[in-house]
């Protein structure tokens, strides 16, 4: 059975400003690079991983490279399925800006935001493929908050009715006897 470590990328300037990032291709800021370095140091001391996969978005690729340099693992592949939700017209806006532009019920409008079910399906397809292709391997996957959260909600709905995924948090899942289990959720001990 594969062990999959899901990592949210390090923080960006837009994270700090509360702006929806979606598929906007942003780099990490200095704090985000520091977070990724600390997570890499955690992995180099505590855990041995066989491979590193990342979303194609720059903030995830940059996080993966920093971790990979520390644990001596190159990026094995880039997978578009684990990229962030497309936030359509709200990308680059804060909640206050969305309220001012579209009103308090902006989330009920058709603003080109990717369907949550489609995001969860992409994430689940990725996990099933990793589990099938890399049995008995330990795989780190650097992705994004909404993708990880929506995938967990679909994968383990009783356990994850809601989710919040911190920057550079680690969530570990495994499939045992045809059943997925979460061993660790949203862990940021490396940032303490």
b/e 142-159 (16+ beta carbons within 10 angstroms → b): bbbbbbbbbbbbbbbeee
For 5, the 3-state DSSP assignment is: strand
177 has catalytic annotation: no
State the average pLDDT for the chain.
96
**Per-residue pLDDT tens for 92-120?**
999 999 999 999 999 999 999 999 999 99
Rounded-to-integer distance, Cα 144 and Cα 149, Å:
9
Tell whether residue 102 is among the known ligand binding residues: no
Residue 15 is predicted with a pLDDT of 97
**Per-residue pLDDT tens for 140-156?**
999 999 999 999 999 99
Which CATH homologous superfamily contains domain 3-191?
Phosphoglycerate mutase-like (3.40.50.1240)
Tokens found for residue 2: 């594969």
Q: Which residue has the tokens 């489609």?
A: 118
Tell whether residue 8 is among the known ligand binding residues: yes
Tell whether residue 149 is among the known ligand binding residues: no
First to last CA, the chain: 31
Question: Of 43, 62, 84, 144, which is the active-site residue?
Answer: 84
Estimate to the nearest angstrom the gap between the alpha carbon of 44 and the chain centroid: 20
- pTM to 2 decimal places: 0.95
Tell whether residue 186 is among the known ligand binding residues: no
Residue 45 is predicted with a pLDDT of 79
Tokens found for residue 165: 């995924």
**Structural domain boundaries of the chain?**
3-191
Question: Of 9, 43, 144, 190, which is the active-site residue?
Answer: 9
Tell whether residue 15 is among the known ligand binding residues: yes
Cα distances (Å, whole numbers) of residue 169 to 4, 80, 88? 13, 20, 25
Residue 22 has pLDDT above 90, yes or no: yes
Contacts of 30 by beta carbon, 8 Å cutoff, 6+ apart: none
131 has catalytic annotation: no
Alpha helices in the chain (DSSP H): 13-17, 30-46, 58-71, 95-102, 116-133, 145-155
Question: Measured over all CA atoms, what is the biggest interatomic distance in the chain, rounded to whole angstroms?
Answer: 51
């Amino acid at each position: 059975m594969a062990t999959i470590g899901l990592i949210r990328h390090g923080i960006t300037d837009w994270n700090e400003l509360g702006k929806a990032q979606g598929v906007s291709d942003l780099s990490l800021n200095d704090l985000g690079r520091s977070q990724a370095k600390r997570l890499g140091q955690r992995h180099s001391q505590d855990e041995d991983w066989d491979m590193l996969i990342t979303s194609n978005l720059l903030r995830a690729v940059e996080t993966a490279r920093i971790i990979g340099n520390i644990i001596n693992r190159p990026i094995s592949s880039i997978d578009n399925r684990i990229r962030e939700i497309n936030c359509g017209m709200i990308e680059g806006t804060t909640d206050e800006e969305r309220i001012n532009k579209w009103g308090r019920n902006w989330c009920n409008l058709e603003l080109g935001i990717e369907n949550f079910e489609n995001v969860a399906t992409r994430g689940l397809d990725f996990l099933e493929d990793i589990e099938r292709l890399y049995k008995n391997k330990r795989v780190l996957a650097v992705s994004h908050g909404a993708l990880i959260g929506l995938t967990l909600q679909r994968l383990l709905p009783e356990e994850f009715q809601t989710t919040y995924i911190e920057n550079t948090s680690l969530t570990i899942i495994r499939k045992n006897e045809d059943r997925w289990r979460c061993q660790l959720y949203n862990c940021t001990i490396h940032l303490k």
